[in-house]
Amino acid sequence: MLELRLVQGSLLKKVLEAVKDLVNDANFDCSTTGFSLQAMDSSHVALVSLLLRSEGFEHYRCDRNLSMGMNLGNMSKMLKCAGNDDIITIKADDGSDTVTFMFESPTQDKIADFEMKLMDIDSEHLGIPDAEYHSIVRMPSGEFSRICKDLSSIGDTVVISVTKEGVKFSTAGDIGTANIVLRQNTTVDKPEDAIVIEMNEPVSLSFALRYMNSFTKATPLSETVTISLSSELPVVVEYKVAEMGYIRYYLAPKIEEEEDTKPE
Amino acid sequence: MLELRLVQGSLLKKVLEAVKDLVNDANFDCSTTGFSLQAMDSSHVALVSLLLRSEGFEHYRCDRNLSMGMNLGNMSKMLKCAGNDDIITIKADDGSDTVTFMFESPTQDKIADFEMKLMDIDSEHLGIPDAEYHSIVRMPSGEFSRICKDLSSIGDTVVISVTKEGVKFSTAGDIGTANIVLRQNTTVDKPEDAIVIEMNEPVSLSFALRYMNSFTKATPLSETVTISLSSELPVVVEYKVAEMGYIRYYLAPKIEEEEDTKPE
Amino acid sequence: MLELRLVQGSLLKKVLEAVKDLVNDANFDCSTTGFSLQAMDSSHVALVSLLLRSEGFEHYRCDRNLSMGMNLGNMSKMLKCAGNDDIITIKADDGSDTVTFMFESPTQDKIADFEMKLMDIDSEHLGIPDAEYHSIVRMPSGEFSRICKDLSSIGDTVVISVTKEGVKFSTAGDIGTANIVLRQNTTVDKPEDAIVIEMNEPVSLSFALRYMNSFTKATPLSETVTISLSSELPVVVEYKVAEMGYIRYYLAPKIEEEEDTKPE
């Protein structure tokens, strides 16, 4: 039997919004450790990895490991029916082909049960090895979202270049080119406004803006985003989920021919 | 001659918004009692009944009973041109084929006259007998609107079931089922937040959500809605219009075959 | 070399929004006097004239007169990437076929360069003679915008009639007619709320609402609008751009046959 009670139910709503544009169907895996999901996007280019640790739930009961295949569009439809202050409980009986989402209003006057059919989904669980990254940038998530959206109005590809002084986002398109430079800045009033650059080695990598824009759907989850870059590895774009976990997006760099790589 | 002056002109704007999606053309009836409308929706399934009592107007002059056929879409276009703080006066000469809506801004700097052509509309005035209802639910109108909208994302039909403890709204669709239970609650800070259930006999009735969602267009008119249910009668969904009247929607229950009636 | 630094960069953003719906491609003219544009709309009916005086810029360097052909849609895409508090600098080298827009955030943490290709655009510069107008109306720009939008829901043409007492905006369409009268009012708390009518001679002129609605895209630039009318001249609809200039729209009156000119 499975029963996971999340007082801050809006987190689950936001998590779904952060995943559902990228992935249609996926298995949620439930173990004593936590509630997690790992899935490739539908075009098999990007990978999403979500973890909500069991300690983050007010009540967490998971008698045995369970993998529940869900259509994320349908799940999102149901979670949109939860109020932002509602407590959400996920319930499933062993061997059942349904999962129930229960929404309790803070005053307990309104209680809703939404029962959704589960699906059988083939999935290969990819091992993601821990890696050392050449450069790690931490910045306000809203700023990252704004930059990806702005550059999309000019081009399709963003080149992210990190030096000690700052990080540069560049693109080029039919109407012209754009370069946006953020300087390292740790002397800010609010720590979440800082732009922190840990650079072991400078990097300059190209990515499809389409995916970056999908990743920024996670912006409401966290005030900061961490971007980890290495020339030989997929970029990791990570948003923390309160104190209880994270959502991480992985995307391989674009290998472009010489003549396409000069956005500036 | 007809001249009806409504200081709180925004009420008339809201009334139109509450009716125009359901009814295209209708007769407004004017008598010494008040300004009223009764009309079936275009598919002849639901009935709307509106009354604005003469006492609610700052000035009310109606020399003889008058029935004015209006296209509600066009009337709504004109009323949308009134500011929310404007005083609205409805004017018509005897025998005229037009009606004039006059909008005065609170400072009297701006005065607008909109003249609309009237139409000849056949209408049978249905007598609506007073009835005893098995169960009457009074609840916040915003909550009712939210529930109808939420359930529409899952199914097409809502089953409303009333017991002493509460009222349950249920639906079922391809992706699963939903049950939302509201408990009677009269110990609230603001009386309009109360959920009050008067039950003489438990009822459980099915209705098309499409119509319920149309009815909730009246939500801006009143903080509360009253739902009156009896197994043999159309449901009545009523919104008060300030102190001066009401808008009531009537909808017959769905009679479904056995296999379709199990949303839970 | 050209380098124009505008601390209140949002003004340039708003100017573009006020012009781009009317004009696709246009030459921006740069001289020691200022940064200006004059262009007919794409259907050659309305004329836009923009001036931003050099004194309004924090830094203004223009070594020689320069005419830069720009696609306003593309320029708007780039300016939308500037934050509302950003400082905007326009830069061009002599003989270059590109222009650069630089956006600096107030904290200087973020610096963006957008480079846009210039175009060759044929343009005849029309001399606009100073003229005496029969009537000049100054009114809140938001009110003018609201009136044009409201009348558009009824008809296609607005008749603007000025008398000593006030200004009347009228239209007629299939569903009826509308007249909106504003009275002269100079005893207001805020000077920008005044309705000031300077009338030497009464006028009554017809204009296409479609263009008037395009002109009101400039509403965010200024709290007031000035409408100058003469029976033999195009109307001038003018919005001030802060202390540094203006945007003026010119539109010839409609000459209609007798039977179409009775909106009231």
CATH number of the structural domain spanning residue C33: 3.70.10.10
Same domain for C111 and C8? Answer: yes
Residue B156 is assigned to a structural domain of this protein: yes
The structure's pTM equals: 0.92
The distance from CA A90 to its chain's CA centroid, rounded to whole angstroms, is 21
Residues B213 and B146 in one domain: yes
Q: Based on the domain organization, do C160 and C217 belong to the same domain?
A: yes
A190 at the C interface (CB within 8 A)? no
Does residue B56 form part of some domain? yes
The answer to whether residues C29 and C110 belong to one domain is: yes
Identify the domain boundary among B115, B144, B177: B115
Q: Is C122 exposed, middle or buried (0-12, 13-18, 19+ CB in 10 A)?
A: exposed
C-proximal residues of A, 153-172, CB under 8 Å: 153-154
Proportion of chain B above pLDDT 90, given as a percent: 84
Could you tell me if C23 and C97 lie in one domain? yes
Could you tell me if B109 and B146 lie in one domain?
A: no
For residue A98, give its domain range. Answer: 1-115
Listed in sequence order, the residues at least 6 apart from C103 whose beta carbon sits closer than 8 Å to its beta carbon are C9, C81, C82, C83, C86, C87, C88, C110, C111, C112, C114
Would you give the distance in Å from CA B161 to the centre of its chain? 22
CB pairs under 8 A between B and C: 51
Cα angle vertex A215, ends A210, A218, to 5°? 145
Q: Please indicate, yes or no, if residue C251 is contained in any of the structural domains.
A: no
A177:C115 CB<8 A: yes
* C residues 65-94 closer than 8 Å to A (CB): 71, 74, 77-78, 80-81
Of B261, B65, B70, nearest to B157 (Cα)? Answer: B261
pLDDT for C256 equals 64
A130 reaches B (C-beta below 8 A): no
Q: What is the CA radius of gyration of chain C?
A: 20
Are residues A107 and A2 both part of a single domain? Answer: yes
Token pair recorded at residue C203:
């006028």
Option in A78, A109, A116 nearest B183 (CB): A109
Q: Evaluate whether residue B237 is within a structural domain.
A: no
With a pLDDT cut of 70, the percent of chain B lying above it is 97
Residue C40 lies in a domain: yes
Report yes or no on A3 lying in a domain: yes
The three-class DSSP label of residue A146 is helix
Cβ neighbours of A116 in B, within 8 Å = 175-176
Whether B86 and B181 map to the same domain: the answer is no
Touching subunits of C (3+ CB pairs, under 8 Å) are A, B
B2/A contact by beta carbon, under 8 A:
no
Give A-chain residues touching C113 at CB under 8 angstroms.
Answer: 178-179
B80 contacts on C by Cβ (under 8 Å): 150, 153
| Number of structural domains chain B divides into | 2
Spell out which residues of chain A touch residue C77, defining contact as CB-CB under 8 Å.
153-154, 175
Q: H or E element: which one contains B34? A: strand B34-40
Q: Answer with the residue of higher pLDDT: A125 or A46.
A: A46
Contacts of B83 (CB under 8 A, 6+ apart): B9, B103, B105, B110
CA dist., res. B169 & res. B219, Å (int): 18
Any CB–CB contact under 8 A between B180 and chain A? yes
- C175 in contact with B at a CB cutoff of 8 Å? yes
User: Does B103 map to a domain?
Assistant: yes
One domain for residues C39 and C103: yes
Which residues fall within 8 angstroms of residue A257, CB to CB, at 6 or more apart? Answer: none
Q: Which of B113, B125, B99 is nearest to B36 (CA)?
A: B125
The answer on A176 and A85 residing in a single domain is no
pLDDT in tens, A14-70: 999 999 999 999 999 999 999 999 999 988 899 999 999 999 999 999 999 999 999
Strand partners, B250: B47, B236
- Own/partner pairs, A162-168, CB within 8 angstroms, 24+ separation: A162/A134, A162/A135, A162/A137, A162/A197, A162/A199, A162/A202, A162/A203, A162/A204, A162/A229, A163/A199, A163/A202, A164/A197, A164/A199, A164/A202, A166/A195, A166/A197, A167/A135, A167/A137, A167/A139, A167/A195, A167/A197
Least confident of B39-43, B134-138, B252-256: B252-256
C230 and C199 in contact (C-beta within 8 Å)?
Answer: no
Question: Span C184-212, mean pLDDT?
Answer: 93
For residue B220, what is the DSSP state? Answer: G
Of B3, B80, B103, B115, which is closest to residue C178 (Cα–Cα)? B115
Res. C264: pLDDT tops 70: no
Provide ipTM, 2 decimals: 0.91
Rounded distance, CA B141 to CA B123, Å? 30
A226 close to A238: Cβ distance less than 8 angstroms: yes
Q: Which of C205, C194, C203, C210 is nearest to C151 (CA)?
A: C210
Is residue C170 in some structural domain?
yes
Beta carbons of B109 and C195 less than 8 Å apart: yes
pLDDT tier for residue A129 given thresholds of 50, 70 and 90:
confident
How far apart are the CA of C163 and the nearest CA of chain B, in angstroms?
15
Yes or no, beta carbons of A176 and C74 under 8 Å apart: yes
Mean pLDDT across chain A: 93
Q: Are residues B23 and B102 both part of a single domain?
A: yes
Phi, psi of B33 (to 5 degrees): -70, -45
The pLDDT of C39-62, averaged and rounded, is 95
CA distance B143 to chain A (A): 10
- pLDDT of A216 reads 98
More confident residue, B259 or B244: B244
Q: Can you give the pLDDT at residue A258?
A: 45
- Structure confidence at residue A55 (pLDDT): 96
Contact between chains at A183 and C113 (C-beta distance less than 8 A): no
Per-residue pLDDT reduced to its tens digit, C79-125: 999 999 999 999 999 889 999 999 999 989 999 999 999 999 987 77
Instruction: Give residue C259's pLDDT band: very low, low, confident or very high (50, 70, 90).
Output: very low
Distance from CA of A99 to the nearest CA of B (A): 10
CB contacts of A108 in chain B (<8 Å) are: 183
**C87 and C34 share one domain:** yes
